[in-house]
Structure 1
């Protein structure tokens, strides 16, 4: 969340952007843009990463938006440009200002403050039409717009608090896909047997079989995992989860699901999706409902 703060007058930036040699890296090409945006990798917990960008030329003002970090010049974003940089976690001032030259008041007035958390990446969009607070955009939405942008390369950063990003390995692509069946749809509370599956539960499994056949040309390995809520002792929950997984496995085989291996296992109550369920037993049973599930995990072929 960004908030407006007022600061005292500070020395104005002494360089002219875009055209002055002092903001160009020595020997750099005069072109404004570099490579097209690709998803940024995560950074270590000792840094916070910011991706600041402007939408492409349609419906935006001409000219550069000067980006400042802690009152020091970071970049000059043209329409369709982005800048990715890292700082140490903590409180920082951030802003992007249109029509900033020649006085460069953006570094001394209308500065906005943000508390940046280590290991996080923040996507900020330049506010067009007014020098207002940056627009914080969710990553999924930001990267749709960023796909049409290019790295801004023509201006040299003067922001002393910006550090080289300590990029971490990108998470590996998932090698499996999970399909979750509600335990309350499959079974009555505490039940797990083949004869205990409800009519709606059998239909849910039949529907899942059809979905698996339509989405996967070949099914090599399937694991059926039973999950329970936290009510009761862990050993009993593990046993209940395993029985439910074994029952669902049997129904999958009855449905003619062609897989080389279909295994059953239990996570018991060790992987909850709900939290802080309080109240009477009936209230807790209702609150914990999302935890009671059977997950069908399909290995994806490389």
Structure 2
């Protein structure tokens, strides 16, 4: 689809260049997804607008135009750490006083993400919001795409590549020995799963996938242990879904006795069961973005 750019005189005066296309829908782009973390060399800003006042809110960073937010629109950008002037002014055309004055300055820390909400538009002062409160509003918003940033201090965000995070649940806490069904989960096991889901949700802004793996000790036949590990993983998966993890994001598998923590346990069966206890576990691997706050 052909897209062309037009910069009207009034928009040049404000430092904005509008981008028009054959489809009015291009005023907005994709819906909001939780943003990932940036490194210490950048600070990330998510600026959004949830009021319904007519007209655009011109967002300026260091006295230069960044975006013109319409109701239910957001813009995301990064800058170098340090002091910056920030503001969003509703209907400040044609004098564009907000661009000239830029009365509000903030010290933005490297590696942090700041969620800013457009204020009343009169003085341009943004409202700093917690991630939790901001994302409740942002989840129904779309990216503002009909203007081009003219802010020279704005940088493309360099997001950190994060490794999957591993968690471990003790098999003996979860299940009675040799058991795997939901009816055999202990009270401590139910609480451990609930606490784990809370921790995962608190520590991740985005969850792409969760892999639950059941592990057993070497007591018994290999095939039997493989099946026991699978049944335990599926039970834990079900309870994690009920605790708040999306079913589409979580899978269950078994490693059986193939990934031991301890080996070469001897003695009576009771002594071997006690010695091999670390092997009886359910591991949970989470692939996602770590939660970053204001």
Name the TM tier (shorter chain): 0.5 to 0.7
User: Conserved in 2, the CA contact under 8 Å of 1:41 and 1:170?
Assistant: no
Evaluate the alpha carbon distance shift between residue 26 and residue 79 of structure 1 in structure 2; reply closer, same or farther with a 3 A threshold: closer
- Report the equivalent of 1:42: 37
Evaluate the alpha carbon distance shift between residue 135 and residue 164 of structure 1 in structure 2; reply closer, same or farther with a 3 A threshold: same
* Paired residue secondary structure (1:52): strand
In the alignment, the residues of structure 2 paired with residue 117 and residue 213 of structure 1 have an alpha-carbon distance, to the nearest angstrom, of 35
Please show how residues 1-302 of structure 1 align to structure 2 within 5 Å.
Answer: 15-17=9-11, 23-25=17-19, 30=24, 31-55=26-50, 60-109=52-101, 111-128=103-120, 130-170=122-162, 172=164, 174-176=165-167, 207-211=187-191, 220-221=214-215, 262-263=277-278, 298-300=282-284
1:24 is displaced (CA, Å) by 2.6
- Gap runs ≥5 in structure 2: 1-7, 171-185, 198-211, 217-269, 287-294
In the alignment, the residues of structure 2 paired with residue 107 and residue 150 of structure 1 have an alpha-carbon distance, to the nearest angstrom, of 24
1:63 is displaced (CA, Å) by 1.2
Evaluate the alpha carbon distance shift between residue 122 and residue 87 of structure 1 in structure 2; reply closer, same or farther with a 3 A threshold: same
1:61 is displaced (CA, Å) by 1.0
Which structure has the highest strand share of the two?
2
In the alignment, the residues of structure 1 paired with residue 52 and residue 62 of structure 2 have an alpha-carbon distance, to the nearest angstrom, of 25
In the alignment, the residues of structure 1 paired with residue 105 and residue 163 of structure 2 have an alpha-carbon distance, to the nearest angstrom, of 30
In the alignment, the residues of structure 1 paired with residue 152 and residue 193 of structure 2 have an alpha-carbon distance, to the nearest angstrom, of 56
The runs of 4+ residues in structure 1 deviating greater than 4 Å are 25-30, 212-216
* Paired residue secondary structure (2:278): strand
- Aligned CA RMSD, in angstroms, stands at 3.9
1:102 is displaced (CA, Å) by 1.1
Aligned residues: 193
User: Conserved in 2, the CA contact under 8 Å of 1:41 and 1:169?
Assistant: no
Which structure has the highest helix share of the two?
2
CA offsets, 1:237-286, max 9 Å, x none? Answer: xxxxxxxxxxxxx9xx99xxxxxx7319xxxxxxxxxxxxxxxxxxxxxx
Evaluate the alpha carbon distance shift between residue 84 and residue 170 of structure 1 in structure 2; reply closer, same or farther with a 3 A threshold: farther
1:16 is displaced (CA, Å) by 3.4
Evaluate the alpha carbon distance shift between residue 213 and residue 73 of structure 1 in structure 2; reply closer, same or farther with a 3 A threshold: closer
- Report the equivalent of 1:197: none
